[in-house]
Amino acid sequence: MAASLCSLLVRRSPSRLSKALSSCSCHGLLVKAPFSLGSSSAASRVLDASLSEASDDGRCAGEHIPVRSSDGVRSTFMEIQEKRMQQADRSVLISCPKSIAKSNLLQFLSNHGHINNYFFYESYGMYMLVEFADRNGAQALCDAGCIPHTKGEFPMPFRSRVLAIRPRMFPNAASAQPTSMMPETDIHIINREPVSNKDIISRLNSLESTEQQLRTLVDMQQLTDADVRLRFMVCSLLQDMCATIFPGTLVRPFGSSINSFGHTGCDLDMLLDLDGVLNVLAQVVKNNFELDYQVKMLSSERSVTQSVLSVMGECLDYFSPGCVGVQKILQARCPLVRFSHQPSSLQCDFTANNRIALKSTEMLYIYGQVDERVRQLVFAVRSWARSHGLTSSISGAWITNFALTTMVLFFLQKRSPAIVPTLEQLRKLADPEDVHIVEGHDCTIVSNLEKITSSQNTETLDQLLVEFFNFYGSFSFSKHSINIWKGSEQNKPESSPLYIVNPFEHHLNISKNVNVSQLERFVQLARNSVWQLQHQEEQSSPKTRPWGLTAVMSSQLQSNNTKGRGRMKSGETLSKIRSLLEN
């Protein structure tokens, strides 16, 4: 299989190679590891003087993805994803030395095509993401490269859009040293590191209101444009590889990377969409003959998914540059391949045909656009839960971020008037083209955001934060389930401590993993947070001690007994919680 993959990927004409090497030599630069994208022109072009790079926080200059079209209508979730995928499709990743002259580098790159955007970042050395105006520009640059050779080591002949560039060394270095080796201080490296908890607390403590804290928290933690571009770039690189074996497949991101609730440093979830292949297999030829591909048949779709992921896991491990620590977790309920992508510093989970997960991602994105308070409250509650160890990136009895976000949505549906609609209401607003049935489950929701009426609720963020903790501090978890499809409490169908109905697969509980002790901690912390927020006016100056959101995020919240009016002893609190759960 490896030999077959290599033969598909390694194709180059001698004339093009000669032309590419000549192009590299004239600039004193070497490019390594090209990728074949199809025929294109590599004509020299002048670098656009208006081109600028990313700002400090990674928000790129140049072409952005507009949330509204030219006529003022908000873009749908799938329209935005398609434009992001097109951006990534015409982009390349380049490893380059920090001493390289940026002006020379940009001039060399612009000779292969007009550059829309670029930025530098750190990940096992310095990298540069370059977006060309079209795919031909990326093709022309990749055509200018070659497979590197090192004495004592043998290259795997796999070509991708992950390149390495370095200044060419001339024999008479003293007299012919290329200007690209001259140190230059104008290369600006964006900071992609998550903001530390200490810096977050310090910044939030300096603000004047809890509402300002919640808004600022989103600005400090949300994914930047550079983060999103890199995530789609990784998907595009995997799609190049998958398409060599499974033509017509797509690799799509899902989850926190694109649902508008992702924070800096979160994992990248990807799915291999095989619908393109299956649709080809299902085509009906309108003549006297039926023409089918000869394929191997397996006993179940799960077996197909496991086999496909097993093959792709091997390809990632042996061929794809920068993919390390590849683990094939094929016996999980949702089989996946887990790996680290070093050129982007992203931890990745790769699955196949998980179409309901993509619809769940779209659902969360829509809720995040309905009312700005949704994202701000979700970011605050997630940060609160993370600071107290209620959520974790490790599998276990913890509440997941998806479950926690669903709890926030349910709470907002219960406000009077409701801040967000129920999922059933979103279903009724859907157009005929929105109908989507996956494995017998109706996943239909409206895609046109203009059809969703804005809420008349005027509650402030600080009010909603207190009421969220108050709502779940007294919620009857022993009797009722949480159901955002209906927006009302439902009788629990089974005895799991926390029962949150899966938005689309209604027979499943997305919080089945949560045990009694974790739910007890959640309820206790919610009650303590209510007291803390209601009595914060008695605290010292916000400039010297945690207050508002930072006070409820403090580790002291779970160890300090509440004070003053309404105080209960720890034993009494736990006793009431247990009686509530066991009622």
Tell me whether residue 150 is in a domain: yes
* Three-state DSSP class for residue 74: strand
Q: What is the mean pLDDT of residues 434-444?
A: 92
Q: How confident is the model at residue 577 (pLDDT cuts 50, 70, 90)?
A: low
Query: Residue 501 domain-assigned?
Result: yes
Considering the domain architecture, whether residues 202 and 121 belong to the same structural domain is answered as no
Q: What is the pLDDT of residue 274?
A: 85
Quote the pLDDT of residue 537: 55
**pLDDT tens-digit series, residues 160-176:** 999 999 877 555 544 44
pTM of the full predicted structure? 0.84
Q: What helix, strand, coil percent values describe the chain, rounded to 5?
A: 40, 15, 45
Give residue 395's pLDDT band: very low, low, confident or very high (50, 70, 90).
Answer: confident
| Confidence at residue 437, expressed as pLDDT on a 0 to 100 scale | 92
d(Cα 108, Cα 104) in Å, to the nearest integer?
6
Residues, the chain: 583
Question: What's the token pair of residue 511?
Answer: 């919080």
CATH of the domain at 139: 3.30.70.330
Closest among 427, 470, 440, 577 to 517, alpha carbons compared: 577
Beta strands (DSSP E) in 422-543 are: 437-438, 441-442, 480-481, 490-491
Q: Are residues 149 and 201 in the same domain?
A: no
475 and 380 within one domain: yes
The CATH number for 478's domain is 1.10.1410.10
Q: Do 168 and 30 contact (CB within 8 A), yes or no?
A: yes
Residues 105 and 210 in one domain: no
> Is residue 488 situated within a structural domain?
yes
Look at 439 and 257; give whichever has higher pLDDT. Answer: 257
542 and 465 both lie in a single domain: yes
- Who wins on pLDDT, 28 or 396? 396
Predicted confidence (pLDDT) at residue 474 exceeds the cutoff of 70: yes
| Pair (390, 521) in one structural domain | yes
Cβ contacts of residue 231 below 8 Å, gap of 6+? 223, 253, 257, 258, 268, 344, 346
pLDDT (mean) for 420-440: 95
- Report, as an integer, the average pLDDT of 502-531: 96
Least confident of 281-290, 310-319, 323-332, 372-381: 281-290
**Residue 274: inside a domain, yes or no?**
no
Per-residue pLDDT, 47: 37
Report residue 13 as tokens. 């004409």
pLDDT band for position 291 (50/70/90)? Answer: confident
Mean pLDDT, to the nearest integer, of 77-84? 96
**Would you tell me how many other CB atoms lie within 10 Å of the CB of residue 129?**
23
Q: How far is CA 403 from the centre of its chain?
A: 17
Q: Is 463 part of any domain?
A: yes
**437-445: average pLDDT:** 92
Check whether residue 478 and residue 549 sit in a common domain. yes
Binning pLDDT at 50, 70 and 90, where does residue 277 land? low
Closest CA to 448 of 459, 437, 433: 433
Q: Which of 70-79, 393-402, 424-433, 514-523 has the lowest mean pLDDT?
A: 70-79
Q: What is the pLDDT, as a whole number, of residue 54?
A: 53
Domain that holds residue 471: 195-220+372-420+455-554
Q: Are 281 and 367 in contact (CB under 8 A)?
A: no
- Residue 2: which pLDDT band, with cuts at 50, 70 and 90? very low
Same domain? For 480 and 546 the reply is yes
Tokens 């033509």, residue located? 247
Cα separations (Å) of 303 from 311, 330, 338?
12, 10, 18
| Res 48 pLDDT > 60 | no
Residue 30 within any structural domain of the chain = no
Statement to judge: residues 409 and 518 lie in one domain: yes
What is the average pLDDT score of the chain? Answer: 83
What pLDDT digit, counting tens, does each position of 532-569 carry? 998 875 444 545 688 999 999 987 665 554 443 344 44
Residue 289 has a pLDDT of 81
Would 498 be classed as within a structural domain? yes
Share of the chain above pLDDT 90, in %: 63
**Number of domains present in the structure of the chain:** 2
Token pair, residue 506, equals 């209604």
Please check whether residues 130 and 209 belong to one and the same domain.
no
- Give percent of the chain with pLDDT exceeding 70: 77
Whether residue 121 lies inside any domain: the answer is yes
Pairing of strands 115-122, 189-190: parallel
Query: Residue 32 has what pLDDT?
Result: 52
Higher pLDDT, 464 or 245: 464
- Rounded Cα distance between 4 and 471, Å, is 59
Q: Do residues 104 and 204 share a domain?
A: no
- What integer pLDDT is reported at residue 290 of this predicted model? 80
Residue 72 above 90 pLDDT? Answer: no
Pairwise CA distance, residues 56 & 192, whole Å: 9
> Of the given ranges (485-494, 507-516, 532-541, 565-574), which has the lowest mean pLDDT?
565-574
Chain segment 169-209, per-residue pLDDT in tens:
555 544 444 444 444 447 889 999 999 989 999 999 999 99
| Tens of pLDDT, residues 347-367 | 999 999 888 999 999 999 999
Q: Are residues 216 and 139 in the same domain?
A: no
Q: How many Å apart are CA 176 and CA 171, to the nearest integer? A: 8
Looking at residue 22, what is its pLDDT?
40
- pLDDT confidence tier of residue 278, bands split at 50, 70 and 90: low
The tens digit of pLDDT for each residue in 109-153 reads 999 999 999 999 999 999 999 999 999 999 999 999 888 887 888
